[in-house]
Amino acid sequence: MPETPDREPWTQAAPAIAAALPDLCFLIGPDLRFAACNHPDHPDLHAPWATLQGRSLQSIGPPALAQQFAAACAPSSQRLRYALRTQSGRLARFEASIAPLLDGTGWLCMARDLGSTDAEQARYARAMKGAADGLWEWDIAADSEYLSPRALTLLDRPGRLAEQLQTDDQGQWRAALQSHLQHGAPLDIDLRLAGAATRWLRCRGWTERDARGQPARVLATLSDITIAKFTEQALTDSQAKFRALFHTVPVGIALFDVASETVIESNDELGRLLGWPTLSVVGQTAEALGLAPLPGTEGRTEIDDRELHPVSGCRLHAKLVAEPVDLAGRALLLCAVVDISVQVDAEAALSALAEQLMDQERRTTQRLAQALHDQLGQTLTALRLMLDLGAADARQQARGLIDQALREVRQVLVDLRPPLLEDEGLAAALDNEVAQRRALHPGVRLVLDAEDELLTQRWPVEVEYALFMIAREGLENALRHARPTEVRLSFYGCAQEIELGVADDGSGLDADFERRPGHLGLIGMRERARAIGATLELGPREGGGTQLTLRWSVPE
């Protein structure tokens, strides 16, 4: 048989325990009479204890109350609430718990003044009313939910919390509760309320457990974080836009720590310019990146042209702009690197072109002067001497010299102005140009492809002149540099548009043809094309060689 617990220690400790309890405790005998009280001088007694001790329950208070007490003295524990005037005259509300003694010799009655509890609840209600957060409480056993007045204000209507959330968030809320109860995960979640306008709640909760350590209820504070969420989203969007702009702007940007001269932030364009992977730029020094020395930190600094040497080995001309930045006392330097290589090369090419044009002007002037002096001048001098001497065959010789002078003048004019262009048009001038070069290059097959309808077509003077000069330069480049066996000049179009092409089967072009010195003729052709609103393309020809194509159309 199981051993009977020794009750002697509890029996001895009972008076001390009863005296320590703040509530009133009564021993009621089997005859339903008051036998003992833990606080005989308690002010909440109905009457002085000396007048109550030994009296029957039926003799105390109203008959209905006496009957309730008598009925509560049953074989099982009972609880009842009642109102009774105390010996001080105050009408108090009590809650009594009545349980039978284990030895069957009576009952233990514990009475609590509900007035103090109500006051505490009132103070709690006032505190909750003044708080910005609401309170949600879930009684797990009863599966009932409580919402504080502030929580009801946040939710707009009573009801279970999950039912007032957006559909997607209902599942998240239930999953968070389950994880909190089963695994002890923190209950801290942001939820969206159902409705036309998006509203956000932040729920932070905890669990209260019963005497056995089992979850009894879950409580959570509810905070309206709608404004904070929208502000956070606006900040996130702004940061995303900044990052997109930061990494797509065609300027290399680096943020240096001044003390260590190392990069703490950079964009993709800087890595591309310097030949570094973007992520590996951060942490590098200015010297390692080839940007040393850094501009000064006293104010905004601009360096118009600094030659850099990227990892790729290519030469890079860059403009550097630096601006000092103070970030919470940390000295930083914001440095922008702008690739101006194309601009520098263009300026150099324009300078070389201007020099070439001046040189051509000098050579043209010298050639014209020499032609007039050595050819036409000598012819006219011979004509004058012949007339002065009165030779017998003077007329015949004079006619021959005059014809020679005319030929010499025409040749000079050919060099200065394309023949046939003004009188007969572009098609005739191109045909004549091909014929003359065919005579000078018998080993090369020169072909003109032109539509018959274009033979009589005319275009603006400046357009015809530019097209002819570009065709002449294209033929000259092909015959001089490409060592071709065939050069084909094509000419198609109508009154509103023209396509002109020069194709050869020669050696072709290397990758940096346009950037190598000695090919300013191409720059001149581009400038002529740009002057009339045309486009010029130069590239490899299918099957080998080079293809030059010019397209012009009447401006809209």
Contact 297, 258 (CB under 8 A): yes
Contact 82, 24 (CB under 8 A): no
416, 451, 470 — which closes off a domain?
416
pLDDT at 165 over 90: yes
- Residue 548: which of 532, 524, 531 has the closest Cα? 524
Look over the chain and give the mean of its residue pLDDT values, rounded to a whole number: 82
Geometric angle at alpha carbon 285, from 282 and 291, rounded to 5° = 105
Residue 124 in any domain: the answer is: no
Contact 209, 198 (CB under 8 A): no
The alpha carbon of residue 465 and the mean position of all alpha carbons in its chain are separated, in whole angstroms, by 51
* Joined tokens for residue 164: 């007032």
Give the DSSP H or E segment for 99: strand 91-100
pLDDT at 516 over 50: no
Residue 123 in any domain: the answer is: no
Q: Are 136 and 102 contained in the same domain?
A: no
**Among the ranges given (256-260, 441-445, 447-451), the one the predictor scored with the smallest mean pLDDT:** 256-260
Q: Are 354 and 397 contained in the same domain?
A: yes
Q: Are 465 and 542 contained in the same domain?
A: yes
For residue 436, give the CATH number of its domain: 3.30.565.10
SS3 282: coil
pTM of the model as a whole? 0.41
Contact 429, 471 (CB under 8 A): no
At residue 489 the predicted structure's pLDDT band, cuts being 50, 70 and 90, is very high
pLDDT at 1 over 50: no
DSSP state of 139: E
Domain count for the chain = 5
Q: What is the average per-residue pLDDT within 532-555?
A: 92
pLDDT at 524 over 90: no
Q: Are 408 and 442 contained in the same domain?
A: no
For residue 50, give the CATH number of its domain: 3.30.450.20
Cite the beta strand spans of 274-363 per DSSP E.
301-308, 316-327, 330-339
DSSP state of 89: S
Sign of torsion, CA 117 119 123 125? Answer: positive
Q: Are 267 and 187 contained in the same domain?
A: no
Q: Are 389 and 506 contained in the same domain?
A: no
Give the DSSP H or E segment for 183: helix 167-183
pLDDT at 45 over 80: yes
Residue 243 in any domain: the answer is: no
Give CA separation, 355 vs 117, 188, 360, in Å.
Answer: 104, 76, 9
List the domain range (segments joined by +) for residue 465. Answer: 419-556
How far apart, in whole angstroms, are the C-alpha atoms of residue 150 and residue 211? 30
Sign of torsion, CA 141 144 149 153? Answer: positive
Contacts of residue 288, defined as CB under 8 A and 6 or more positions apart, other chains included, come to: none
How far apart, in whole angstroms, are the C-alpha atoms of residue 457 and residue 497? 11
Amino acid 238: pLDDT: 85
Residue 237 in any domain: the answer is: no
Contact 265, 255 (CB under 8 A): yes
Q: Which residue has the tokens 């996130």?
A: 236
How far apart, in whole angstroms, are the C-alpha atoms of residue 94 and residue 497? 107
Give the DSSP H or E segment for 27: strand 24-28
Contact 482, 504 (CB under 8 A): yes
Residue 235 in any domain: the answer is: no
337, 356, 371 — which closes off a domain?
337
How far apart, in whole angstroms, are the C-alpha atoms of residue 489 and residue 487? 7
Rounded to the nearest 5°, which phi and psi values hold at 291?
-105, 0
Amino acid 197: pLDDT: 85
Contact 356, 520 (CB under 8 A): yes
- Residue 198: which of 229, 223, 222 has the closest Cα? 229
Q: Are 543 and 426 contained in the same domain?
A: yes
Residue 520 in any domain: the answer is: yes
pLDDT at 209 over 80: yes
Residue 525 in any domain: the answer is: yes
Q: What is the average per-residue pLDDT within 516-527?
A: 66
Q: Are 486 and 552 contained in the same domain?
A: yes
At residue 120 the predicted structure's pLDDT band, cuts being 50, 70 and 90, is low
Q: Are 502 and 550 contained in the same domain?
A: yes
How far apart, in whole angstroms, are the C-alpha atoms of residue 335 and residue 265? 11
381, 401, 416 — which closes off a domain?
416
Q: Are 440 and 545 contained in the same domain?
A: yes
- Residue 35: which of 25, 45, 43 has the closest Cα? 25
Q: Are 427 and 540 contained in the same domain?
A: yes
Kindly report, residue by residue over 420-429, the tens digit of the pLDDT. Answer: 888 888 999 9
Geometric angle at alpha carbon 145, from 140 and 151, rounded to 5° = 140
Q: Are 218 and 275 contained in the same domain?
A: no
- Residue 318: which of 341, 301, 335 has the closest Cα? 341
Q: What is the average per-residue pLDDT within 445-462?
A: 91
Give CA separation, 213 vs 139, 181, 220, 397, 524, in Å.
Answer: 15, 12, 19, 137, 93
Amino acid 499: pLDDT: 96
Per-position DSSP letters for 27-55, written without gaps between them = EE-TTSBEEEES-TT-TTSSS-HHHHTT-
How far apart, in whole angstroms, are the C-alpha atoms of residue 407 and residue 81? 139
Cite the beta strand spans of 251-328 per DSSP E.
252-257, 262-266, 301-308, 316-327
pLDDT at 385 over 90: no
Kindly report, residue by residue over 386-423, the tens digit of the pLDDT. Answer: 666 665 566 677 777 777 776 766 666 666 666 688 88
Rounded to the nearest 5°, which phi and psi values hold at 145?
-120, 145
Residue 310 in any domain: the answer is: yes
